[in-house]
Chain A
Amino acid sequence: MTIASDKIITFTNGILGLEQYKRYVLLDHPGTDVIKWLEAVDAPEIALPVTNPFYFFPNYSPKISRENLLQIDIKSPEEAIVLCVLTIGSNPKDITINLKAPIVINADSRLADQFIAENPEYNIREPLQLKRACSDRRCQSC
């Protein structure tokens, strides 16, 4: 697979536990715009399902230090794309979202990293009601 270089997202440190992979692409999942895949360019078997957390938690506001955001050249929130990793259990109804460690992408330079939100109320494994959010979205477009 050849990937246009302007689509590549480069992680400065890396996704925690997967630091050996620095270059990713964001791929659509057929039939939905809620779930996307963050796939390692050099190892396609490494792919994380991610979502826009604001679909499910409209008030989500992770606290990340300025110094951290400056590492990926982000100076204001509108420059950032925020994604959270989903973990799907063996029963696909058991799905959780990692609100504690969002992935932040600089929309312009495509630099990214996974940061830890200082908010004590955010969990690594927050249960997610996928169905509800998706049907809400369908209503909005009616």
Chain B
Amino acid sequence: MLVLTRKTGEGIIISNDIIIKVFEIEGDRVKIGIEAPKTTKVLRLELYEDISRENKKAVDAAKDAVDKLFELF
């Protein structure tokens, strides 16, 4: 992973059309601004990771688990 040091008001640009700026630093919180094309997905990493994990867990549910569900009826 590329690691850069930036100050308040500074930013980075990724592949010509994504700009990330540091707006404010307060204690352990950083306020960042993101300018990206509307088609670019921007997500909080922990939300992305949580949903990814849940999708993988759903895959692991074997087909016979669904059969068992209907035995409950």
Contacts and interface: CB of A to CB of B under 8 A. Distances in A.
A92 B71 CA distance: 10
Given A88-B69, A95-B69, A16 B63 contact: no
Interface residues of A, number: 35
Contact of A85 (B43, B47, B58, B69): B58
Interface string B49-73: 0111111111101010110111011
Interface in B18-48: 38-39, 41, 43, 47-48
A18 B56 contact: yes
Nearest to B56: A17
B52 A16 contact: yes
B54 A49 contact: no
B58 A87 contact: yes
A93 B66 CA distance: 10
Interface in A93-131: 93, 95, 98, 100-101, 114, 116, 124-125, 130-131
